[in-house]
Structure 1
Amino acid sequence: MSTRSTSPDGGVVFVVCCCLHLPQLFSTCVAFSLVADMGFWRGAIGNWSMSLWCVCFAMTLLISIVELCRADSEFPFFWCNISVTYACYAALICLSASIIYSITYVQFVPYGPYRDRAIAATAFSCIAFVLYVIEVAGMRAWYDLEEIFFYEHTMSALLKVLETFVAGVIFAFLSNTSLYLHQPALEWCVAVYSICFILAAVVLLLDLAEWKYMLSRTFSIFQLVLSLLSVLLYISALVLWPLYQFSEEFGGQPQRSSDGDCRDELTHDMCTWDQRLAVAVLTAINLLVYVADLGYWAHQVSVGTEDQPRVS
């Protein structure tokens, strides 16, 4: 493997900051500024979206400062994994904020200046999403991955990012404790989401530190066992959550119209029935991701190999 530095030179860092980080900062700043200017019209969904754009703005600014000051050269391998991981999360955050804000809020705002601001904020959020995707895709060229290996470009890393991100969105809906505190079975589902999130986050942190190469075979088996456990847990949640939320026999509400909180007019928030449905859909999506993760690690263990650093 080549021994040259993995950190790009100052010129490349300057170009990246000007061509990607500055537009990212501008897009996220405009997005949350437009929503913040809507006052009481922004509602709970607007506050949630605004907080996500603020986080992306703050983290992008911090990463830009570190890279411009060349502080990342002190820990190049770890920093590159961290920076591309953040870019993946930021892309997912902006995408989810754009989708959720538009379908649960923007379409219900009356025509006028507030609606125009909401539409503009969604547009800038979409632009930020595209810019973060370009950063993730371009990281391979910037860090010359033909010679240097980075964990975050493997399929396993992308699956772990998706698992933790989808779980994070689920937790956002579960902030409404009335969704589950009345049923032990639903509390079990919340425990499933929490346990699987913690396991995925721990594995992701271990991989970021490149621990997987100390005992690669053992680590693969460890990942396989965790993936199997997570799949089984999510299957139980996928059965229990819809059953107790939408079946009248178990105290659920099968029809949206039966929920008094759900109205056609703007309520500045998702009604309870919609939140239940969103958690059910996200549970199914995350189960599919965990199944893909299980299949990946089953293949790695069966063939005795996994993504390894490429040698020039």
Structure 2
Amino acid sequence: MLLYTDLLLTLFSNTTIPPGAEIDLRSLTQPVGIIRIIAAFLTCTTFSLVAKAGYQTLSYWAWCMFTWCFCFFFTLLIVVLEFTTFNGKLPFSWEDFTAAFAMLASLMCLISSIIYPTFFTCPTCDYQIAASVLSWVCFGLYVGEVVLTRRQPTGQNSGFLSTLSGIMKMLETFLACLIFVSLETKQYSGVPGLQWCVAVYSLCFIFSIAIILLTLGQVTSLSPVSFDKIVVAYNIVATVMYVTAMVIWPLYGFKKSGTRPSNCERYCWWDKLVVVTFMTIFNFVIYTLDTIYSIYLVFFVSNQ
């Protein structure tokens, strides 16, 4: 640890600091800071290996690349902001944001670590195998960050994204992203029932993101109506909408072919229909739990 600290002091001793910023070397030498630096390096290495292996036109390949690039960028951004102490000048709870990002990055790396080796790795694909292994290591690092931030007694983990409601909102948007990755225009083109399902996924995703941003930005108090009650009403509507999608999507999606076609290869349109179906069911469960919990908080806990 002393050698690591001395190296950092040497690297940054001659660095010009912008006005209003201070250096916080301790943010890089703490266990969480070390984990973030390693995670940034490994996510960068992972997407570099995948890019070296070659571009793929499949949407799941794009999702995996987006995951590693997204995690690299925001991990590096968090490291820089904490190192320069600019994080204290941001208009939202920094601890809440970093804890939420670590949980989201863990989920994204977990899914990518399953998808990429499943569809894009072979016994002789050296770059792909190395990228798959590093992706699992990144998942472990982000899980470790979640555990460490949760154990810190000084961490302000009472923010929205660190609560059960915030976690469920992140899960709802995350599962919606997996649905979008699996959607193809030809799946629902010309079928009004399936187009309604796509509208459900899109509208619920947009409103869930809006709720997260408004709460994270601490502007919910500006609402003329109780924001918590607005969220309850939205959760009820979203749950009902997902009920219709959960019924309509498999009903119309598998209408032409109830079983997997014999000419369907390792990765085809039928597999995507299955993924969307299961993600719709999972998201319906999350929305239902979110609705029950929000009703409990607003109409029972707050009235005590």
TM bracket (short chain) = 0.7 to 0.9
- Indicate whether 1:158 and 2:160 are aligned: no
- Identity in percent: 34
Instruction: Please give the alpha-carbon distance, in whole angstroms, between the structure 1 residues aligned to 2:111 and 2:61.
Output: 13
Q: Which residue identity is paired with 2:150?
A: R
Q: CA deviation at 1:212?
A: 4.8
Distance 1:201 1:143, change over 3 A: farther
Instruction: Please give the alpha-carbon distance, in whole angstroms, between the structure 2 residues aligned to 1:230 and 1:143.
Output: 36
- Indicate whether 1:230 and 2:238 are aligned: yes
Instruction: Please give the alpha-carbon distance, in whole angstroms, between the structure 2 residues aligned to 1:134 and 1:150.
Output: 20
Give me the TM-score of the superposition, normalised by structure 2: 0.83
Aligned pairs (5 A) from 1:116-195? 116-142=126-152, 144-145=154-155, 149-174=158-183, 176-195=184-203
Q: Which residue identity is paired with 1:255?
A: T
Distance 1:228 1:95, change over 3 A: same
Q: CA deviation at 1:148?
A: 7.0
Determine helix, strand or coil for the equivalent of 1:294: helix
Residue aligning to 1:299: 296
Give me the TM-score of the superposition, normalised by structure 1: 0.81
- Residue number among 256, 262, 265 corresponding to 1:263 in the alignment: 265
Aligned pairs (5 A) from 1:58-73? 58-73=73-88
1:255-303 Cα distance to aligned partner (Å, 9 max, x none): 2125x4x225xxxxx3111111111110001111101101111211231
Distance 1:160 1:117, change over 3 A: same
Q: CA deviation at 1:162?
A: 0.3
Q: Which residue identity is paired with 1:300?
A: L
Distance 1:142 1:166, change over 3 A: same
Q: CA deviation at 1:143?
A: 6.4
Instruction: Please give the alpha-carbon distance, in whole angstroms, between the structure 2 residues aligned to 1:148 and 1:56.
Output: 21
- Indicate whether 1:94 and 2:109 are aligned: yes
Superposition CA RMSD, Å: 2.5
Higher relative contact order (CA 8 A, sep 6+): 1
Distance 1:101 1:84, change over 3 A: same
Instruction: Please give the alpha-carbon distance, in whole angstroms, between the structure 1 residues aligned to 2:147 and 2:218.
Output: 21
Determine helix, strand or coil for the equivalent of 1:256: coil
Q: Which residue identity is paired with 1:303?
A: F
Q: Which residue identity is paired with 1:208?
A: L
Residue aligning to 2:66: 51
> Contact conserved, 1:152 with 1:158, CA < 8 A, in 2?
yes
Q: CA deviation at 1:191?
A: 0.2
Unaligned regions of 5+ residues in structure 1, if any?
1-8, 265-269, 307-312
Instruction: Please give the alpha-carbon distance, in whole angstroms, between the structure 1 residues aligned to 2:239 and 2:133.
Output: 36
Unaligned regions of 5+ residues in structure 2, if any?
1-23
Q: CA deviation at 1:104?
A: 2.8
